Amino acid sequence: MSSLWAVTLATLVKDVRLEWRSKDALNSMLFFSLLVVVIFVFSFDPLAEESRHIVGGLVWVAFLFAAIMALNQTWARELRNQVLDGFRVSPAPANALFLAKALGNFIFVCVLEALMAPLFVIFYNLHVLGPAWQLIPVALLGTWALVVNGTFFAAMSLRTRNREIMLPLLLFPVSVPAVIGMVAGTTTILTGEGSAHFYIVLLLTYDVVFTTACLTLFGTILHAE
């Protein structure tokens, strides 16, 4: 068990340090989601009242598309110099690698959300009517839901032709319940109509189910060659 955490931590620190020095994923995600926000502002010109009903959807669409960029780069780094092959033959647990990658992506997407959320507030003149603190569990659970499956499917699409296109094709259908939870939960909190507890429980269930599934099957996927 200790080796699992040691390897996870080592890989995570390496990934975060690499990202900190290059800022490849973060910069492209940030600029991309900024573009999405600007395009949405031109496409819809809502009043403050209406914007509460649509921003939940817009925010998550922007983050979903931006997250795909980070997820696609997850494993690309490990393909150079056969790092992934080295990992396969090493005695390190496969799940450590998966957890490190998923946590790394989780951190990057959370940073993106923290930086982009104020922009949405400014552009759409948002004023939250429900309990605003509940946006934090919705965001964290929703991000983990996207990232855990995204990391898994990115590993899966490594073995396909045109893998950059494959990832969203695999990820989006499975993510439908998570997206429903995130969007409906955010909208409920923004409009203050009803309680978002149901959606938080839904996202939690989704996270538990798919984290378990990913950890169970990742070894098989990693060694499938």
Q: Between 147 and 166, how does the x/- string for binding to another protein read (CB under 8 A)?
A: --x------xx-xxxx---x
2 binds another protein (CB under 8 A): no
Closest distance to another protein from the beta carbon of 151 (Å): 13
Among 172, 191, 192, 215, binds another protein (CB under 8 A): 172
Nearest to 107 by CA among 155, 173, 151: 151
By CB under 8 A, tell whether 53 contacts another protein. no
* Candidate list 110, 117, 140, 174; residue touching another protein; CB under 8 A: 174
Q: How many CB atoms lie within 10 A of CB 46?
A: 16
Q: Is 89 among the residues that bind another protein (CB under 8 A)?
A: no
Task: Give the one residue of 4, 34, 180, 204 binding another protein; rule: CB under 8 A.
Answer: 180
Q: Which of 72, 134, 181, 196 binds another protein (CB under 8 A)?
A: 181
Does residue 197 bind another protein (CB under 8 A)?
Answer: no
> In angstroms, rounded to a whole number, what is the distance separating the alpha carbons of residues 15 and 38?
30
Residue 92 structure tokens: 């390190």
Long-range Cβ contacts of 87-95 (<8 Å, 24+ apart): 87/222, 88/222, 88/223, 88/225, 92/3, 92/7, 93/3, 93/4, 93/7, 94/218, 94/219, 94/222, 94/223, 95/4, 95/215, 95/218, 95/219
* 222 lies in the site for another protein, by CB under 8 A: no
| Nearest residue to 164 via CA among 149, 153, 179 | 153
Binding site for another protein (CB under 8 A): 149, 156-157, 159-162, 166, 169-170, 172-174, 176-177, 180-181, 184, 198, 202, 205-206, 209-210, 213, 217, 220-221, 224-225
